[in-house]
């Protein structure tokens, strides 16, 4: 059901200094930058192999990532797995009793369709499933 790791999401307080670390120091190509208002973040994607690092700066304190930063500070936020059909994957996970944060997929970065699973069902790891947009 889960095809591969699509990205690892990292919460950052300052997007530009985080980009400097990942792009300049760690050498990952920056491939996308976007305000994802649906998720309350400004985010970038950097390529690493077939997967990505997603850096997330909150658009405000009263957003999920803003609250995460206030509570835990910058660091690992979530792991995202690619699926071919996010609606079918969500249904299959719900059927197995996995607690869902999103019962319906919503828009994610770069026109993907995403849904989050509750960490209480995934060993304490906030888990995202993502159906990437068709690449044209
Ligand atoms: Co993500």
- Count Cβ atoms below 10 Å from residue 31 Cβ, excluding itself: 11
| Ligand 1 centroid – CA 128 distance (Å) | 6
Alpha-carbon span 113 to 106, nearest angstrom: 6
Range list of H helices, the chain: 15-19, 64-72, 86-95
Q: Which of 8, 6, 53 is nearest to 31 (CA)?
A: 53
pLDDT digits (tens, 9 = 90+) for 20-38: 999 999 999 999 999 999 8
Query: The tokens of 41 are what?
Result: 């973040």
**Model confidence at 96, in pLDDT bands (50, 70, 90)?**
very high
For ligand 1, the distance from its centroid to the CA atom of residue 97, given in whole angstroms, is 22
**pLDDT tens, residue by residue, 37-68:** 989 999 999 999 999 999 999 999 999 999 99
Q: Ligand 1 centroid to 96 CA: how many Å?
A: 23
| Cα(25) to centroid(ligand 1), Å | 22
**Per the structure, how many domains does the chain have?**
1
* 110 CA distance to ligand 1 middle (Å): 11
Please give the model's pTM, rounded to 2 decimal places.
0.94
Residue 79 pLDDT > 80: yes
**CATH number where 125 lies:** 3.10.180.10
Going from the Cα of 113 to the center of ligand 1, the distance in angstroms, rounded, reads 10
Distance 49 CA to ligand 1 centre (A): 17
Q: What is the domain extent for residue 107?
A: 4-135
d(CA 110, CA 21): 22
Q: How high is the pLDDT of residue 136?
A: 55
Query: How crowded is residue 27: how many other Cβ atoms within 10 Å of its Cβ?
Result: 9
Q: Using 50, 70 and 90 to split pLDDT, how confident is the model at 134?
A: confident
């Amino acid at each position: 059901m889960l095809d591969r790791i699509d990205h690892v999401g990292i919460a950052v307080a300052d997007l530009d200094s985080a980009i400097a670390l990942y792009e300049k120091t760690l050498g990952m190509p920056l491939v996308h930058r976007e305000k994802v208002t649906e998720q309350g973040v400004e985010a970038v994607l950097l390529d690493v192999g077939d997967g990505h690092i997603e850096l997330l700066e909150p658009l405000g304190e009263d957003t999920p990532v803003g609250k995460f930063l206030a509570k835990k500070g910058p660091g690992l936020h979530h792991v995202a797995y690619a699926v071919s059909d996010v609606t079918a994957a969500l249904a299959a996970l719900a059927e197995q009793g996995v607690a869902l944060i999103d019962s319906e997929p919503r828009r994610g970065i770069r026109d993907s369709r995403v849904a989050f699973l509750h960490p209480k069902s995934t060993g304490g790891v906030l888990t995202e499933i993502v159906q990437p947009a068709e690449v044209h």
